[in-house]
Structures are given as structure tokens and as C-alpha cells.
Amino acid sequence: MAALFFHLVSPVEAGIFSYKDDKGAIHFTDDISNIPEEFRNNENGFRKHKESRRTHRTTPVPFPSEPVETVHTPLEEVQIPLIPVSGGNFLVDVLLNERVKARLMLDTGASFITLSEKIGQKLGVVNNGPSAEMPFNTAGGEEWMPLVALKTVSAGKAQSQLVEASIGKHIKDIDGLLGMSFLGDYRFEIDRTHKLLTLKPPNKKGETTWEGKSGNWWKSRLDYYDTSIKGFFNRARQMQRKGHRKAANMMKTAEFYKDLRQKLETRALISGVPERFR
């Protein structure tokens, strides 16, 4: 089972990076050396999203604060017990959509949360016709996985909203993987000795935040959605021209990200996020 997952690694250059491979799959990593050379040596081949959440040495770039209508108190540091399993891996207890309990394997090399079909069924995920799907590389080769937007994901007192997740047929013996679509919302540390996952607010102390997130976080997330929408629409059109069997699914994926973008924009407006961050 451990062969399915990436090993935990230490960052070489601080940041969260992403790149899209030749098959359209998007990969996230906090270690730039994990990006294949053909993408790493091309300035347009990868993106740096935001500061790394893995070590105390990393601090998000502060933005000048200004008076706003809505300012939320950021989350305090949260420590979450890690449950050791074979292969040097750890499981984390989470609550999905405030009603479905799951025990996910901590995997900083995974782009998204990936859930088993069993957990997907508990969440009410039903595929009727073409659904949003993306290709992912697994130990068994490329697999197209359905995408879902989790309303909330909670680990201890830490909670993230509108979290991307995929449903993987290859996930059999566990509930799934806890990947960067959740972990990337925090500065996080993994204490293997004391078996603790520490989640810290992504913002600098004293920095103005909205829903506990800095202006840099809002801008980065909205930019990421914009890039994804454009990229997946272009990919879908290419696949349509070639008669690819998954073209309709890829078009749904573009619409999936368009919906996420609209929902986050609405939250930003309600929370009073300044226009320069939107």
C-alpha cells in the first residue's frame, strides 16, 4: 500500500510550486527539485504559488494594511495527533462537510485530498453523465478521477472551506490521502518524534486578514482558479478536436473551476477583501 504514496521530503527552496504535465495533470510540490527538468528549466513551465507552510523559516510576504469593514481573527496554532502506520506514514482524523468522518493518510506530495469511493458515497457523490475529472499519476499508471468541492474540511480546530478533492478507485485500504488542497492553507510542521501535525495561520502576526487569510492568499487563490479555468478550457477544446473520450469530462473540469472561482469571489466581496487582492 505504501508504494502508492510519495515520501515526506524537506524543502530545498521555500514555496509551493505547481506544473502541468503533457497530459494536462497538475502537480503540486513544496520542493522545486521534484519538478521535472523540462518544466523546471522553462520559466513558463511552472508556477510559484505562495510561501511554504512547512517550516518556521518561511514567512508570507506582508501587504500594507488598510481599514476595512470586515476583519476576522486568524486561527491560532493547532496541534493534531498523527496515527502511525506501516511504511513510516501517518493517518489524520478529519471531518468532511461537517458530517463525514474519515482517517486520511498524510501525503505532502499529493496535489489534492483524494478519497476512497466508499467515503465518496457517504458524501453523496454520484456520477450521472460526464462529470468533472482530471488525470492523475498513480502507482498503477494514469487514472482519471472525479473531482468534488468539499464545503469544509476540519482537522482538530482547523477548518478550510471549498477544498478540492478527487475520488480514487485505487484507494482501497484507507479512507484517502490528506494532500495540499488542505495543507496548503497553512504553515505546517510534521513532528515525527512526537507524532504531531502542527497547523499555523498562513498570515504574519498582526497582518490584516479576511476570514483569517491575508490579501496575498486571496489573490493567489483567485489567480490559481483563473489559470485553471483557462488551461482546462483550452485542454478540453484540444481533446474535442482529437475526439478524446474524456473531452466532455475535461470541459466539466473547466466549469468546476469556474464555479469555485465564483464562490470564492462572492466570499471575498462579503468579507470586504480589497479590490487589489481580487
pLDDT digits (tens, 9 = 90+) for 125-143: 876 667 999 988 876 778 8
Which of the given ranges, 45-59, 69-83, 211-225, has the highest pLDDT on average? Answer: 211-225
> Is 223's pLDDT higher than 60?
yes
Contacts of 157 (CB under 8 A, 6+ apart): 75, 78
Instruction: Pick the closest to residue 151 from 277, 255, 260, 229 (CA basis).
Output: 260
How many Cβ atoms sit within 10 Å of the Cβ of residue 169? 13
Report the distance separating Cα 190 and Cα 181, nearest Å.
17
> Residue 8 pLDDT > 90, yes or no?
no
- The domains found in the chain, sorted by start residue, are 78-200 (2.40.70.10)
SS3 34: helix
Each residue of 61-79: pLDDT tens digit?
Answer: 333 333 333 334 445 789 9
Highest-scoring range by mean pLDDT, 23-37, 52-66, 241-255: 241-255
